[in-house]
Structure 1
Amino acid sequence: MKPIIIILAAFLFIQTESGAQGCVAIRSVGGMCTVDHLFGADTVSSKWSFNLNTRYFNSFRHFVGTEEQKQRIANNTQVINHNASIDLSLTRILNNRWSITFGIPVISNTRSSLYEHGGAARHSTSSFGLGDARITAYHWLTDPAKGRKFSLQAGLGIKLPTGDFRVMDHFYTSTGTKVLGPVDQSIQLGDGGTGFTMELNANQVISRKVSLYGNFFYLLNPREHNGVSTARGGATSATALQYGSDVMSVPDQYMIRFGANFTFNRFTVSAGYRHECVPSSDLIGGDYGFRRPGYVNSIEPGVTYSMKKINLYAYVPVAIVRSRTQSYADKERTKITGVYAQGDAAFADLAVNIGMSVRF
């Protein structure tokens, strides 16, 4: 049983809902999917586990669709986001099949741009504080006590609007006047909506040293928009009102991961693929409001060091495909004007995730 636990730890200890790279933001919504849900009376005496994950990325490369707008960097007009977060989660292990996790992120963001500040000089806005919390119940659909080679876990949760979605900072106008307004959607601490999460986590043991894994996460956000203005302290434009980008949307988001783990004593090396997406349309509710939909496909190397009660890990998803897809506002503009419209978004090259999990 112990080798299976170590192998599972390599992929389940990392965050499953935070980490998209850039303005197309898979928000950090707290909580981790952790292997500690597996532990019961037959394996260890742990009833609790604590997970701490740090994440950082720097987005600056602009894309329209999958085509990079290289002139933005050449002309120094690119938007630069620095996003750092610490995801904290506490899991209560009820038995070897059921567990409940509460998680919340602490987030620090800065955003540097020209176009938001009159276009003459580059200035920055920022946000810092708690993000949206999540409470999730997990259940192993297969019995871990029987030590089967295939394991499947499901999770259902609620995402609470604990993060401030009205963070304000100062912007500069073309005349140099400072005005106070809501910061860009990509660095808001929360989205302002109560959401519902669905997860599936699977593992297939091939041998004592090799296993396969898969994760699926979906955040369902029924609220259409949160009413926060996108005008950065100024007057809302007629164009924004016409095309439905005058307020910030509350978008769905999802992630798919799969790959292989290779275990060598206490070390497990992982090689995986990661797809993260903010869709242009939600499963439930309307799509009105400003969002930057799109997706990031990444290769995801990682390493985990496992001890009796502690696991240390590092994962670095490296983007290989970045795409900014058509938003609701783009589609409305295309329909009204008859001219195809598609906005851009800034993406990072990679994200760095380093963390630890402790059972007690």
Structure 2
Amino acid sequence: MKTSFSSRCVVAVGCVLFSGSFVSTVYAQGCLAAHTSSTIQSCITSGGVNEGAGDGMSFLHKHPLTMEVDWRSFSSFRHFSGEKENFARAAAGLDIENHQNIYSISLDMQVTPRWSVNAFVPVLQGTRDQKYAPVGKFDIAGIGDMIVGVQGWVLKPPAENGGNIAFSLGLKLPTGLNNGMGTAKLANGMVQKVVADQSLQPGDGTWGFTVGAQAYKQTYFHTVGYFQGSWLFNPEDTNGVPTFRASKLEAVMSATDQYLFRAGLSRHVPRVHGLAASFGGRMEGIPVRDAFGKSDGFRRPGYIISIEPAVQYQHHHDMISLTAPWAIQRNRRASVTDLASGTHGDAAFADYAIILSASHTF
């Protein structure tokens, strides 16, 4: 099926925006420790969205490998318990500031027009200004938990009806640094190395698996509607890494599930060849209880709902995109240990994140 470049570019934006492999990145913007990520298969390797390709499948047979590099940056400083912001922390000088740069490299190999295999490697560098015991400034960097996966489209691309649905499955490997340490001052005045906060750990170091889906549909006025969803399942209860927390119930870190849902509309920019824009909504977070296994140990469950504008430019084999999710609702939910002890902890959230992605099809 022949398609215009503008239509193909719209499909690409609707399906990918800033990802290049198998279930979209799940990084809660703040102290919600959602750094183990999954990725989502891009339409660029399955729908024939490359400039000058003619029939997309013909292009894929000649260029089946796509590599993408992503960078995400945000600073979290607003503390919430439930949906209520905790202004007392800032007034008392106890607000925690987290800044994180998250990098990822993904590879996608198109095996057939419908099936692809992929791999995802995340890297995190983060700093945390801890103003209560253990007091200190932590700087942690390391590789997160890698994911390898497969995705299949329900219809053979390019779909004649202007829409398609894909499902994906991945295996999360325990490759991530989960016990990074920093120098801190304890409550008794001693200075020593302690395990950094859970939000700074690049991975959780446990086995898991991801399930994802994405869909797109050509609508009116050359606009494409898109949906994307993914869930990372971590069946293990805890990862055995100690925390600095006083409560015995929170003495070790929990191995948490993570989720992401996105939906919106995208369209090419008239008279600007290769440029497209999109606008949608996004929800990401950590559940109170995992779908499988227990949910003991320390975790900060909650979610962020954001509006998500994005722009994307494609030229021949290369694509670059800029996405800026802006939070409109933040909720730090009570964890299993909170409910057991009758408390409700808080978490720091960011106002927005900047996500920059670049990909090349070989």
Aligned to 2:175: 162
Q: Please list, as runs of the form range in 1=range in 2, the aligned pairs for 1:36-47 lying within 5 A after superposition.
A: 36-38=44-46, 39=48, 41-44=57-60, 45-47=62-64
Classify the secondary structure of the residue corresponding to 1:196. strand
Aligned match for 2:359, one of 340, 357, 360: 357
Matched, 1:106 2:119: no
1:170–1:179: 8 Å Cα contact kept in structure 2? yes
Q: 1:117 to 1:231 in 2, by over 3 A?
A: closer
Which amino acid is the alignment partner of residue 58 of structure 2? D
Q: Please list, as runs of the form range in 1=range in 2, the aligned pairs for 1:31-180 lying within 5 A after superposition.
A: 31-38=39-46, 39=48, 41-44=57-60, 45-117=62-134, 123-180=136-193
Q: Please list, as runs of the form range in 1=range in 2, the aligned pairs for 1:261-280 lying within 5 A after superposition.
A: 261-264=266-269, 265-280=273-288
Which amino acid is the alignment partner of residue 42 of structure 2? T
Aligned to 1:338: none
What TM-score results when the alignment is normalised by the length of structure 2?
0.90
Which amino acid is the alignment partner of residue 91 of structure 1? D
Aligned to 2:227: 214
Cα displacement string for residues 56-80 of structure 1 (whole angstroms, at most 9, x for unaligned residues):
0100100000000112223321111
1:89–1:102: 8 Å Cα contact kept in structure 2? yes
Matched, 1:318 2:326: yes
1:267–1:305: 8 Å Cα contact kept in structure 2? yes
Which amino acid is the alignment partner of residue 253 of structure 1? Q
Which amino acid is the alignment partner of residue 99 of structure 1? S
Aligned match for 1:254, one of 238, 255, 259: 259
Aligned match for 2:213, one of 200, 215, 237: 200
Classify the secondary structure of the residue corresponding to 2:58. coil
How much has 1:147 moved relative to structure 2? 3.1
Cα displacement string for residues 101-126 of structure 1 (whole angstroms, at most 9, x for unaligned residues):
111012101110211335xxxx3012
Aligned match for 2:238, one of 225, 240, 263: 225
Distance, in Å, in 2 between the alignment partners of 1:266 and 1:170 is 49
Cα displacement string for residues 266-286 of structure 1 (whole angstroms, at most 9, x for unaligned residues):
111110100012001000010
Distance, in Å, in 1 between the alignment partners of 2:159 and 2:267 is 22
Distance, in Å, in 2 between the alignment partners of 1:331 and 1:20 is 22
Q: 1:91 to 1:13 in 2, by over 3 A?
A: farther
Classify the secondary structure of the residue corresponding to 1:42. helix
Distance, in Å, in 2 between the alignment partners of 1:13 and 1:199 is 16
Classify the secondary structure of the residue corresponding to 1:347. strand
Distance, in Å, in 2 between the alignment partners of 1:303 and 1:54 is 15
What TM-score results when the alignment is normalised by the length of structure 1?
0.91
Aligned match for 1:284, one of 277, 292, 311: 292
Classify the secondary structure of the residue corresponding to 1:145. coil
How much has 1:19 moved relative to structure 2? 2.8
Which amino acid is the alignment partner of residue 104 of structure 1? V
Which amino acid is the alignment partner of residue 8 of structure 2? I
Matched, 1:295 2:303: yes
How much has 1:255 moved relative to structure 2? 0.7
Question: How large is the Cα RMSD of the aligned pairs?
Answer: 1.6
How much has 1:170 moved relative to structure 2? 1.4
1:30–1:87: 8 Å Cα contact kept in structure 2? no
Aligned match for 1:14, one of 18, 25, 42: 18
How much has 1:183 moved relative to structure 2? 0.7
How much has 1:208 moved relative to structure 2? 6.2
Which amino acid is the alignment partner of residue 62 of structure 1? H
More divergent stretch after superposition (34-43 vs 83-92) = 34-43
Distance, in Å, in 2 between the alignment partners of 1:187 and 1:306 is 34
Classify the secondary structure of the residue corresponding to 1:186. helix
Q: Could you tell me which runs of 5 or more consecutive residues in structure 1 were left unpaired when the two chains were aligned.
A: 335-340
How much has 1:227 moved relative to structure 2? 0.8
Which amino acid is the alignment partner of residue 200 of structure 2? I
Aligned to 1:343: 345
More divergent stretch after superposition (270-279 vs 162-171) = 162-171
**Runs of 4+ residues deviating >4 angstroms:** none
How much has 1:43 moved relative to structure 2? 4.1
Q: 1:196 to 1:205 in 2, by over 3 A?
A: same
Cα displacement string for residues 152-189 of structure 1 (whole angstroms, at most 9, x for unaligned residues):
11110011111111111111023432111211100011
Q: 1:154 to 1:72 in 2, by over 3 A?
A: same
Identical columns (%): 32
How much has 1:34 moved relative to structure 2? 1.7
How much has 1:30 moved relative to structure 2? 5.7
Which amino acid is the alignment partner of residue 271 of structure 1? F
1:31–1:135: 8 Å Cα contact kept in structure 2? no
Aligned match for 1:190, one of 203, 212, 221: 203
